[in-house]
Structure 1
């Protein structure tokens, strides 16, 4: 083996070593409790060393042989056993308590209180307390939902879609005036949105001043499902800004909703951002088009939390009209997690539930204050929506759920932890 050969020392393999360590025994001078660990200055020093910088770390082949995990495990066990016999020598216990345990505690704390993951989790359905007299009403309710309501709702949705296609084709053929044609199409789409809500047995209560046409207006709302747009569209036409999907949703976007002058973009295409920004500015200057509707979270959240609002809508010097949407889960869960279920599967789940119930609050308009940054303006509007809808305000970026830590980031973290651990072992 050449002297300059290098290899990586991986901290992930330390899990086997730590899992095989004997259980620490409390003594008069050593007490490994959580309270003691949290108060320990050694933990603070270790965390400061680990997170102070990220640098690559390589180990010589001879050094790696010395740090073979069998020898390392024997060393840790022997020192820990000797420490129990002679409490004055606490170097290995301090090593374990200051380096290994804090990292495990961080992982455990993240699993216990992970507010980011909670934003995208559906509420678990509590099973019935089954007994002989509850079984009969459950069977009756399931029969009503699946045998009677579902076929009726599906028929309503299919029939309304066919009628809309026929009407749109007739309008394109027989009405030549562009202004009149657009006005009739917008009214038809409002009725079509009402058919969608009716097919879900939707019960929607609207509060506040209804939207009106006008230039330089942007309506922003929290986002739980694709049906947010249908709920707002059934009372007034909107031009929505959204991601272009495939499948059934993509057909609706490109062939039907596009008549409302909607703005679609591809999330993975960076060139779309500047183009979308220009289209939004042009849209705000026009008075004969529906007002803009934007969901600044950029992704669907489970209607218990509200993640960070993107600043794009708040940089356009437009009047912002906040809209708070609150769904009630007594009859159905409206949250759509596109990563775990397709849109047709989601529709089937809603159509076999009892009803879709929600409240929509149109809040007073807001404008950016002097010397207020777009980020601060977005955060202020988000707080207003959270307060009205009873949502938990969290600072997470919703796009984070679409990405995973890169392998490069994971490797650098392993190298850094290995360097700190090696230094402590040599001492």
Structure 2
């Protein structure tokens, strides 16, 4: 009995030692930015499994609809025995899931099902002939308004279009998938549609929650500990040049380890356009992980809202070693201070580029929304970067109004993987007579085009607040001008 217990203890010790050595080997490879290709093989295998699941679901759907069609045909023949001409049976091959998801994709990917006028709100067609034929005789007649009920019809039409095809709030919901990715984050219950899919789903559930998740939590913990200790040591280095080099080393290693905890597969394109020292790196924003994704390849100074909790720990650790800019969104006075600090930062050629997400909030990886003009007023070189996530392996979008940071990280660590493409784009500078808003829109359109995203004019802050009063007043003013015949 004692011998068996001894053998069991030795085997347990060997197993734990082997597992720990394997984990530290993964962490070492991650910190060096190396890979032996296991993650890419893992992603390729997942694609084949998803394709098998799609074919299985389609087969079951075809059988269900064919059976339903035959049953309806037999019932109609029984109810109408005298009126039963030979009818050619038509089997519907497309299930309700494909229809709903294709419509959802049309909304989310910008394939509009409504033919709209390009203006934000349609202006009514007003008959201007009367105002052209006669001149106003007095001041009262000049500013008199002639209102007909038909003047409102274009606005009613535009409102109905906005209800049917809402291109704003749909950007703050999870992206629709064409095929099921074997995750339970759907109300379709595909995992019980056939016994084959049930077995695959159970195996996948075991792998994600029992194998991958504990390993990912451990690797993430090591990354956070490395971050806190590493930047604390870097912060006490007296010589600036040596401190900058050490900070770049620790910065990349930290975020490589954190990305490896999410099984991230990142493909960088056009690396000749990688941001240089000083200037601004501007990217679209889907998730806080955007920072980690980009920081695996280059060191940045970060700017953003001051957070508490897990993000707050990382922010305070980063601030010990390099110049980062954290501010309170609610404090209006901070904006002037932030602009001043931005100018001071870009004026020093030794500082790393500032990583900025001008949208100010997370969008669901289908579009790019309005860029704030603040960072485009400072001056300096802009390095655009486009990021596009593959939602088949895990939805990287963070709905901050619905999930806390820890809930979001839990969802990420129980997903299959984080797979994304990053495109570095040629640097851009503001033209001589170009306004900051026009420059921001020009950068936004370049990022949207490269990432295959929809370019929208709406402010992303509509996620949290109602439309500004000025927007309503502007539309009222335009309507008043049309009524006047101007």
Tell me the distance in 2 between the aligned counterparts of 1:214 and 1:103. Answer: 50
- 1:211 CA drift (Å): 2.9
Give a deviation string over 1:345-376, Cα, whole Å, max 9, x none: 11110110111000000001111223221111
Give 1:331's match in structure 2, choosing from 386, 393, 411. 393
Secondary structure, counterpart of 1:206 in structure 2? strand
2:282 matches 1:220 = yes
- Contact 2:231–2:317 (CA under 8 A) maintained in structure 1: no
CA distance 1:44–1:312, shift in 2 (3 Å): closer
* Structure 2 Cα separation of the partners of residues 397 and 112 of structure 1: 20
Deviations 1:210-242 (A, max 9, x none): 535433x21111111111111111111101221
Any idea what SS the aligned residue of 1:359 has? Answer: strand
**CA deviation vs aligned residue, 1:303-353 (integer Å, no higher than 9, x gap):** 101101111122122111110001111101111111110111111101101
Of the three residues 112, 120, 131, the one matched with 2:194 is 131
Residues 286 and 365 in structure 2, CA contact (< 8 A), matched pair in contact too? yes
Tell me by how many angstroms 1:170 deviates.
4.3
2:166 corresponds to which of 114, 118, 127: 114
Question: Do the aligned partners of residues 103 and 280 (structure 1) sit closer, same or farther apart at CA in structure 2, a change above 3 Å counting?
Answer: closer
Give the distance between the partners of 1:343 and 1:108, measured in 2 at CA: 36
Q: Could you say if the C-alpha distance between residues 45 and 212 of structure 1 is closer, same or farther in structure 2, counting changes exceeding 3 Å?
A: closer
Structure 1 gaps, min length 5: 1-42, 47-94, 411-427
Show the 5 A alignment for 1:118-197. Answer: 118-124=170-176, 127=188, 128=190, 130-171=193-234, 175-197=237-259
Q: Distance in 2 between matches of 1:207 and 1:103?
A: 44
Corresponding position of 2:316 = 254
Map Cα deviations across residues 262-310 of structure 1 (whole Å, 9 max, x no partner).
Answer: 1111111110111000000000011222111111111111110110111
Q: How far apart, in 2, do the equivalents of 1:232 and 1:263 lie?
A: 18
Tell me the CA shift for residue 44 of structure 1: 5.4
The answer to whether the Cα contact below 8 Å between 2:275 and 2:383 also exists between their aligned partners in 1 is no
1:285 aligns with 2:337: no
Q: Which aligned pairs between 1:255-404 and structure 2 lie closer than 5 A?
A: 255-257=317-319, 259-404=321-466
Question: What's the secondary structure of 1:301's corresponding residue?
Answer: coil
- Most deviating of 298-307 and 115-124: 115-124
Q: Which runs of 5+ in 2 are unaligned?
A: 1-122, 127-147, 177-184, 473-486
- TM-score of the aligned structures, taking structure 1 as reference length: 0.69
Deviations 1:396-416 (A, max 9, x none): 011222213699x99xxxxxx
**Equivalents in 1 of 2:458, 2:334: separation in Å?**
24
Q: By how many angstroms is 1:107 displaced?
A: 5.1
1:243 corresponds to 2:305? yes
Over 3 Å counting, the alpha-carbon distance change for 1:102 and 1:165 in structure 2 is: closer
CA offset at residue 101 of structure 1? 9.1
Partner-residue secondary structure (3-state), 2:371: coil
CA 1:178–1:366: 2 relative to 1, 3 Å? closer
Q: Kindly indicate whether the alpha-carbon contact (under 8 Å) linking 2:283 and 2:384 is maintained by their aligned counterparts in 1.
A: yes
Distance of aligned partners of 1:167 and 1:405 in 2 relative to their CA distance in 1, 3 Å threshold: closer
Aligned partners of 1:238 and 1:260 also within 8 Å: no
**Helix, strand or coil: the match of 1:365?**
coil
